[in-house]
Amino acid sequence: MRDRLAQVRDGILARTGIEDAPRMSGFRAHGWHATKDGHEFAEPLLVELDRAAAFKGHVRYVISSHELTSDEKDRVFNSLFVGVLRVSFSRYRSSELTDIVFEDDQSPRSRYDVIVQRAQPSGEVRVSVEPKGDSALAMADYLLYATLKYVARVLEQCKTDNCGISHRPPISTEVSYDATGAIEMPGHLTASDFAFRMYKTFVRSMSSVLEVPGAIAG
């Protein structure tokens, strides 16, 4: 998968017509970055993931009514990391080796080790830290971005208290297919919505998506 994404990246770098795009120098240096990439950078990645990806997405998120302080951020992120790792460790407990790659956020290395230990790995684990441009991380970056955009758009669209529709992004087992084989997703969003289209790229690979409740005090 990494190799394939590296090829896609080379293809973008070799394309004429976008070499003067303002994003190009950042992309050449650091690769994909979901919140910064324009269409011409995002689309080839999304197409490749949609066509060929073999992965399972697990997402944990919290919704906060205020901007988190840096202490809160650390605490919440730690608990989200532990939550998502526990799922992976229990699901892949028969694996010989589990490779955990954290996106480098300048934290001391000990932070990642504490997180992994708190998640109670059952087998051998290799922990590494890579910068955001890493191709495998780009996939995770986009997956998270698509999920959070979806959640944000749904909350924006939902104007009803007591709404009966689930606002959690659907997972692979919750979508249906129309007569032509196209994916149908329930909820507030429609095909005209970019967040909807982007999340659709990933939904067939989504294994679990959970809002973690009560992680933020007041």
- Span interacting with Zn ion, options 44-52, 86-94, 119-127, 156-164, rule CB under 5 A: 156-164
- If phi > 0 it is left, if psi is from -120 to 50 it is alpha, else beta; for residue 181 that is left
The site that binds Zn ion (CB under 5 A) totals a number of residues, namely 3
Candidates 47, 152, 155, 158; binder of Zn ion (CB under 5 A) is 158
- Span interacting with Zn ion, options 15-23, 84-92, 150-158, 189-197, rule CB under 5 A: 150-158
CB of residue 170 to Zn ion, shortest distance in Å: 14
CB of residue 162 to Zn ion, shortest distance in Å: 9
Contact string 97-126 vs Zn ion (x = CB under 5 A): ------------------------------
When asked if residue 152 is in the footprint of Zn ion (CB under 5 A), the reply is no
CB of residue 165 to Zn ion, shortest distance in Å: 5
Candidates 13, 165, 182, 191; binder of Zn ion (CB under 5 A) is 165
- If phi > 0 it is left, if psi is from -120 to 50 it is alpha, else beta; for residue 207 that is alpha
When asked if residue 163 is in the footprint of Zn ion (CB under 5 A), the reply is yes
CB of residue 150 to Zn ion, shortest distance in Å: 13
b (16+ CB within 10 A) / e for 168-206: bbbbeeeeeeeeeeeeebebbbeeebebbebbbbbbebb
When asked if residue 155 is in the footprint of Zn ion (CB under 5 A), the reply is no
Distance CA 49, CA 15 (A): 19
Q: DSSP code of 35?
A: T
**154 burial type by CB count under 10 A (0-12 exposed, 13-18 middle, 19+ buried):** buried
| Between 13 and 165, CB nearer to Zn ion | 165
- Span interacting with Zn ion, options 29-37, 56-64, 142-150, 163-171, rule CB under 5 A: 163-171
37, 12 Cβ separation under 8 angstroms: no
Spell out the residues 6+ positions from residue 61 whose beta carbon is closer than 8 angstroms to its own. Answer: 80, 147, 148, 151, 209, 210, 211, 212
Point out which residues bind Zn ion (CB under 5 A). Answer: 158, 163, 165
